[in-house]
Amino acid sequence: MTRRALAALKIDIVVDSDRWRGLADLRPMLRHAVAEAAAALSITGAELAIVLTDDSAIRLLNRAWRGVDAATNVLAFPTNRAGGEPPLIGDIVLAYETIAREARAGRKPFVHHVAHLAVHGFLHLLGYDHVRAEDAEAMERAERGILRRLAIPDPYRRPVGG
């Protein structure tokens, strides 16, 4: 990715929970993951925020916006604001405890799982979805390609013998 393309991508990272503090490599990794996703999809400029929060905060958001009274790993809130330079495309919210639990259960490095979910949220901001099977396949295919660019193993590959 060129410096110019990266400059056109504005990513604000908001740490909303102390659980995320002390993870020094996280901010550059998140910016890199989303920048690679943008490059893979030929997105030349966008502004977004990544909010690093906890299960209790994301549960409130999930209940208010989706009617689901449970914590989740990632929520994406696309915006329709086309004006501005670069255009604001929305917010990605990540919940620490759920992500850490999933990473442990899947025997994945925490940073790989966070990067995957940031990419997943970014795709949602661009209109990708996984409600219908064919849409889920297209979204997973895009995620796999982006994660390959990041040297992150395919999170959808079934373990041998599993």
> What is the tens place of the pLDDT at every residue in 124-149?
999 999 989 999 999 999 999 999 99
> What is the tens place of the pLDDT at every residue in 51-61?
999 999 999 99
Tell me the two tokens of residue 88.
């604001």
Nearest to 94 by CA among 77, 112, 72, 78: 72
Fold of 3-149: Collagenase (Catalytic Domain) (3.40.390)
Q: pTM to 2 decimals?
A: 0.90
Domain borders along the chain are 3-149
Burial bucket for residue 97 (CB in 10 Å: 0-12, 13-18, 19+): middle
Amino acid at 152: I
